[in-house]
Amino acid sequence: MLNGKTILITGGTGSFGHHFVDYVLAHYQPKKIIIYSRDEFKQFNMQNAYRQYSQPGGVLRFFIGDVRDKERLTRAMQGVDYVIHAAALKQVPACEYNPNEAIKTNINGAMNVIDACLDCGVQKVVALSTDKSVNPINLYGGTKLVSDKLFCAANSYSGGKGPIFSVVRYGNVAGSRGSVIPFFQDIIDQGGRELPITDFRMTRFWISLEQGVELVIKALEVSQGGETFISKIPSFKITDLAKAMSPDCNLKEVGIREGEKLHEIMITSEDSARTYEYDDSYIIYPHYDWWLDRMIVPGGKPVEAGFEYTSGNNKVFLTVEELQQKLKTDLDKH
């Protein structure tokens, strides 16, 4: 699928971008992978980390650019087959405090990426979404909801001639910056004997970056336009994670934070009428006049009316021992 293709990743110097590049270089022979982001220092570090691929004429190419700049995106996308849109402002408090900036990057940036893809003849586009865009309670989630809608609706503009736009949704990646695992680890490393838990009932999904990358590649392979792809993954209780990381620590309930949910939600009951279940994933199909049932990916079955997929109602929960194992193998190393 990716052999001989030119792929551009907005936000390619981020955690996802690094892992995507590792995965693609290990499994495919792409013609070019273009990293598109703003900070020259992050690009410099990435060029050094992938020195053998970053030489002149190498597979990895680096474009400084902002997703707020449509002209620059259009220049960068010349000759590009596939675009992965990963660039985002994604820290909840930063988006609350700087709402205009979150809107400019996450919404205006999404519109620019779509326009540039339409103008440059890109074949397929996958945008990264988050559980926070489902019934959003903070601005980050709100901007990502709008971004998801923009990408799904963009298929109407391409008029069946391409590009094909789709969305991949997952929750916090295990060990990602600002998430609960590094937070607990800092306390443990400083000799803390008590781990704060906002609410003892709280649950989360467990997803590794590898699984996120694989879902994006699946979306590139099978999307017909407007789908939202969601992995089937296990859940865990935050209290079990704390016990897995530090069996002897005390746990203290400190109260839910503003903008925080008890459970991660991936699929709402309102989505159930358009959701199909597959062996390893769910796909929410779009609700457009042009969408035809023959575009449904084979091998799935419709979920029951009212079905919801949340980290709280998941059938599979990791035990403390399983969490300890996953903490050794699954954490984001970038």
Neighbours of 186 (CB within 10 A): 10
64 vs 304, beta carbon nearer ligand NAP: 64
For residue 193, with 0-12 CB atoms within 10 Å meaning exposed, 13-18 middle and 19 or more buried, which class applies? Answer: exposed
Query: Does 124 participate in binding ligand NAP (rule CB under 6 A)?
Result: no
Query: Which residue lies nearer to ligand NAP by CB, 43 or 239?
Result: 43
Q: Which is nearer to ligand NAP, 11 or 226 (CB)?
A: 11
* Stretch of residues binding ligand NAP (CB under 6 A), selected from 62-70, 236-244, 293-301, 312-320: 62-70
Any contact of residue 138 with ligand NAP (CB under 6 A)?
no
Q: Which is nearer to ligand NAP, 218 or 291 (CB)?
A: 218
Query: Is there binding between residue 38 and ligand NAP (CB under 6 A)?
Result: yes
How far apart CA 173 and CA 334 sit, in angstroms, is: 12
Residue 173 contacts ligand NAP per CB under 6 A: yes
Q: In the bound complex, which residue of the shown chain has the CB atom lying closest to ligand NAP?
A: 14
Q: Indicate whether 11 belongs to the interface with ligand NAP (CB under 6 A).
A: yes
Q: Detail the DSSP E strand segments found in 102-163.
A: 124-130
132 is catalytic: yes
Cα 194 to Cα 184: distance, rounded to the nearest angstrom:
10
For residues 66-95, which are near ligand NAP according to CB under 6 A?
Answer: 66-68, 86-90
Burial of 220 (0-12, 13-18, 19+ CB in 10 A): buried
Single-letter code of the amino acid located at 290: W
Q: Which of 5, 70, 90, 132 is catalytic?
A: 132
Residue from 34, 83, 128, 217 binding ligand NAP (CB under 6 A): 128
C-beta of 131: minimal distance to ligand NAP in Å? 7
Nearer to ligand NAP, 76 or 318 (CB): 76
Closest distance between ligand NAP and the C-beta of residue 101, in Å? Answer: 9
- Is 201 a binding residue for ligand NAP by CB under 6 A? The answer is no
Q: How far apart are CA 326 and CA 334, in angstroms?
A: 17
User: Three-state SS string across 24-61, please?
Assistant: HHHHCCCCEEEEEECCHHHHHHHHHHCHHHCCCCCCEE
Where is 7: in which H helix or E strand?
A: strand 6-10
How open is the CA angle 320-323-326, to the nearest 5 degrees?
160
Q: How far apart are CA 203 and CA 241, in angstroms?
A: 10
* Residues forming the active site: 132
Q: Enumerate binding residues for ligand NAP (CB under 6 A).
A: 10-17, 37-39, 42, 66-68, 86-90, 105, 109, 128, 130, 170-173, 176
